[in-house]
């Protein structure tokens, strides 16, 4: 069978559309691209067509549906911002009929990268321009090869030809701002973020991809990252760079945090990754990491008139910063990362009470020297970010009887609900947590430890809860590049 992954055609500019983004239509050249897609696939063995619910995707694929007299199926798993695992679940569940899937520039490259890791060969660079098509050959559960059909040029559209790059959008259509990517080489995962950024600091995500590597677990067992893990890290970074290129990123900013900062061979691994992705890797010290995190908070969350405490719980470390819209007044990085403590202290599932007490004591001991300084500054807002905080928020949302939302920005988690979710997670087995609504399978093992850290932190500092931010270090790196973060002479 054959799978056709179609990127939607050019849409109207967001600045010229006041309605829901889901209803933003394609523009004039987008309609021309849609007709060309239908002509291109006229002789292809397409037996089924499935689209993202977004109007620009439906309009892109409707000429093909009309020409073939087919029924258009809509599936939320192809929507912009959807998890790669959901889109792959749809792909792998297809029957033997050749199918066209119409989706977005964040979903398609991430799918291709994941399929490549599973053995699929990608011919050429991983690109995904508007109006383009990726042709996947082989069974839906394990495609063997993927080849790229670029969108035709405006002249090719006029002449009915099949070559050349896509045209520049006309004035009424979507035009790219600065498209940049951050590759966060973290202690739990490597995370790629590609955005379109404006000079004023507005960002629109274009693509995301994440690969769990657990480098923090490796260094918790020793001071070196094992050779086999290093090999996987280099290859993972290379694949994520391909996703960034495929999403049209003009610049790539790789940054390393606690695991590469602390491992004996962290610098040499960073150098290997830099050679593999052809971009220098910047290893952030804890202070700068906290400053960039807080800068992202100040651009994303209402801080109020007083000081705010920013908290970024990662895999290898916990960053704390107190400040306001003018900048950071105090910051500290502590060795309290979720992956680190889980690997060092947790040896059974469900977590025994003695182990939970050991985790709490580790958190209290690390906080003890800093409690008086935080109390003196008297922050009145408590903002948290990081994969664990977001994962916990989704579980708490599900416990409220609500459907877990994609964005948790400015969602408030009361300390009491955090404690209740912590107790539930500590009582459960890994298999039980994987079945819980709102719990990601890839974080099911770490979530009890993370909930325990956040709960103990709130208790020790007397916090009423946390306001969540969906921006953090990666967005802070982009704000720094835009010149919107106060420079640090020490960096």
417 vs 205, residue with greater confidence: 417
In sequence order, what DSSP letters do the residues of 378-415 get, joined into one string? --SEEEEESHHHHHHHHHHHHHTTSPPPS--TT-EEEH
Check residue 439 and give its pLDDT: 92
Based on the structure, what is the number of domains in the chain? 3
Q: What's 306's domain CATH number?
A: 3.30.420.150
Q: Which of 175, 7, 19, 177 is CA-nearest to residue 101?
A: 7
Check residue 371 and give its pLDDT: 96
Domain span at residue 420 reads: 286-474
The answer on 394 and 246 residing in a single domain is no
The answer on 320 and 224 residing in a single domain is no
CA distance 195 to 198: 10
CA distance 137 to 121: 10
Check residue 6 and give its pLDDT: 97
Check residue 440 and give its pLDDT: 87
Residues contacting residue 75 through CB under 8 Å, at least 6 positions apart:
50, 51, 52, 53, 90
Number of residues assigned to the chain: 491
CA distance 310 to 322: 6
| H-type alpha helices, 202-335 | 215-220, 227-246, 258-262, 266-277, 286-300
User: Would residue 142 count as lying in a domain?
Assistant: yes
Least confident of 81-85, 178-182, 384-388, 412-416: 81-85
Check residue 54 and give its pLDDT: 95
Least confident of 53-62, 215-224, 387-396, 440-449: 215-224
Side-chain half-sphere of 285: how many Cα atoms within 13 Å? 8
Token code pair at residue 147? 């080849």
Question: To the nearest whole percent, how much of the chain has pLDDT over 70?
Answer: 93
CA distance 373 to 106: 43
User: Would residue 488 count as lying in a domain?
Assistant: no
The answer on 399 and 271 residing in a single domain is no
The answer on 312 and 246 residing in a single domain is no
Domain boundary residue, one of 245, 265, 283: 283
Q: How confident is the model at residue 165 (pLDDT cuts 50, 70, 90)?
A: very low
User: Measured in Å, how far apart are the chain's first and last C-alpha atoms?
Assistant: 53
Res 162 pLDDT > 50: no
CA distance 384 to 382: 7
Q: Write the pLDDT tens digit of every residue in 340-352.
A: 999 999 999 999 9
CA distance 208 to 205: 8
Check residue 487 and give its pLDDT: 56
User: Would residue 302 count as lying in a domain?
Assistant: yes
The answer on 207 and 155 residing in a single domain is no
Res 369 pLDDT > 60: yes
Token code pair at residue 445? 């093992």
Check residue 83 and give its pLDDT: 83
Q: What's 228's domain CATH number?
A: 3.30.420.40
Check residue 199 and give its pLDDT: 82
Domain boundary residue, one of 252, 283, 314: 283
Kind of pairing, strands 99-103 and 2-7?
Answer: parallel
Res 135 pLDDT > 80: yes
Res 434 pLDDT > 60: yes
Q: How confident is the model at residue 168 (pLDDT cuts 50, 70, 90)?
A: very low
Res 408 pLDDT > 90: no
Average pLDDT, the chain: 89
The answer on 81 and 188 residing in a single domain is no
Res 424 pLDDT > 50: yes
Check residue 151 and give its pLDDT: 87
User: Would residue 255 count as lying in a domain?
Assistant: yes
The answer on 305 and 197 residing in a single domain is no
The answer on 322 and 257 residing in a single domain is no
Token code pair at residue 2? 């054959």
User: Would residue 14 count as lying in a domain?
Assistant: yes
The answer on 78 and 137 residing in a single domain is yes
Check residue 472 and give its pLDDT: 95
User: Would residue 487 count as lying in a domain?
Assistant: no
Res 183 pLDDT > 80: yes
SS3 243: helix
Res 74 pLDDT > 70: yes
Check residue 404 and give its pLDDT: 63
pTM of the model: 0.75
Report, as an integer, the average pLDDT of 203-223: 84
User: Would residue 491 count as lying in a domain?
Assistant: no
Check residue 489 and give its pLDDT: 38
Report, as an integer, the average pLDDT of 18-23: 87
User: Would residue 483 count as lying in a domain?
Assistant: no
The answer on 125 and 192 residing in a single domain is no
Res 153 pLDDT > 70: no
Q: What's 75's domain CATH number?
A: 3.40.50.1240
The answer on 148 and 182 residing in a single domain is no
Report, as an integer, the average pLDDT of 244-248: 88
Q: How confident is the model at residue 157 (pLDDT cuts 50, 70, 90)?
A: very low
Domain boundary residue, one of 116, 132, 159: 159
- C-alpha distances in angstroms, 321 versus 164, 293, 334, 382, 473? 50, 8, 11, 10, 13
327-334, strands of its sheet edge to edge:
327-334, 318-324, 308-313, 381-385, 465-468, 412-414
Q: Write the pLDDT tens digit of every residue in 270-315.
A: 999 999 999 999 999 999 999 999 999 988 888 878 899 999 999 9
The answer on 95 and 188 residing in a single domain is no
Res 82 pLDDT > 90: no
């Amino acid at each position: 069978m054959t799978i056709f992954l179609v990127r939607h055609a050019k849409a109207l500019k967001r600045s010229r559309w006041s309605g829901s983004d889901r209803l933003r239509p394609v523009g004039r050249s987008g309609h021309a691209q849609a007709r060309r897609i239908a002509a291109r696939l006229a002789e292809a063995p397409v037996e089924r067509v499935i689209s993202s619910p977004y109007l620009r995707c439906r309009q892109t694929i409707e000429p093909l549906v009309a020409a073939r007299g087919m029924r258009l199926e809509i599936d939320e798993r192809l929507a912009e911002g959807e998890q790669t695992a959901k889109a792959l679940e749809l792909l792998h569940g297809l029957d033997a009929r050749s199918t066209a899937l119409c989706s977005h520039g964040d979903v398609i490259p991430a799918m291709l990268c994941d399929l490549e890791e599973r053995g699929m060969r990608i011919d050429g660079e991983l690109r995904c321009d508007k109006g383009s098509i990726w042709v996947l050959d082989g069974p839906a559960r394990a495609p063997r090869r993927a080849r790229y059909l670029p969108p035709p040029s405006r002249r090719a559209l006029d002449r009915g030809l099949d070559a050349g790059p896509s045209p520049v959008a006309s004035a009424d259509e979507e035009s790219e701002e600065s498209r940049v990517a951050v590759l966060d080489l973290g202690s739990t995962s490597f995370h790629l973020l590609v955005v379109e950024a404006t000079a004023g600091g507005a960002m629109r995500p274009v693509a995301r991809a994440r690969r769990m590597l657990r480098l923090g677990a490796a260094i918790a067992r020793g001071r070196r990252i094992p050779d086999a893990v290093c090999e996987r890290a280099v290859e993972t970074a290379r694949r994520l760079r391909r996703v960034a290129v495929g999403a049209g990123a003009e610049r790539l900013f790789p940054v390393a945090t606690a695991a590469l900062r602390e491992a004996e061979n962290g610098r040499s691994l960073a150098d290997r990754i830099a050679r593999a992705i052809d971009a220098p890797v910047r290893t952030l010290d804890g202070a700068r990491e906290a400053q960039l995190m807080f800068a992202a908070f100040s651009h994303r969350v209402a801080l109020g008139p007083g000081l705010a405490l920013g908290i970024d719980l990662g895999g290898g470390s916990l960053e704390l910063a107190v400040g306001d819209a003018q900048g950071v007044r105090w910051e500290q990085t502590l060795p309290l990362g979720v992956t680190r403590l889980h690997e060092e202290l947790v040896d059974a599932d469900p977590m025994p009470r003695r182990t939970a007490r050991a985790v709490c004591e580790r958190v209290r001991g690390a906080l003890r020297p800093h409690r008086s300084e935080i109390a003196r500054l008297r922050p009145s807002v408590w903002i948290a970010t990081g994969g664990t905080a977001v994962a916990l928020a989704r579980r708490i949302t599900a416990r409220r009887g609500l459907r877990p939302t994609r964005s948790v920005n400015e969602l408030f988690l009361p300390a009491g609900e955090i404690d209740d979710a912590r107790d539930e997670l500590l009582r459960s087995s890994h298999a039980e947590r994987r079945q819980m609504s709102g719990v990601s399978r890839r974080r099911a093992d770490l979530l009890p430890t993370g909930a325990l850290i956040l709960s103990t932190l709130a208790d020790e500092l007397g916090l009423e809860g946390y306001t969540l931010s969906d921006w953090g270090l990666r967005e802070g790196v982009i704000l720094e590049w835009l010149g919107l973060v106060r420079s640090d002479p020490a960096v």
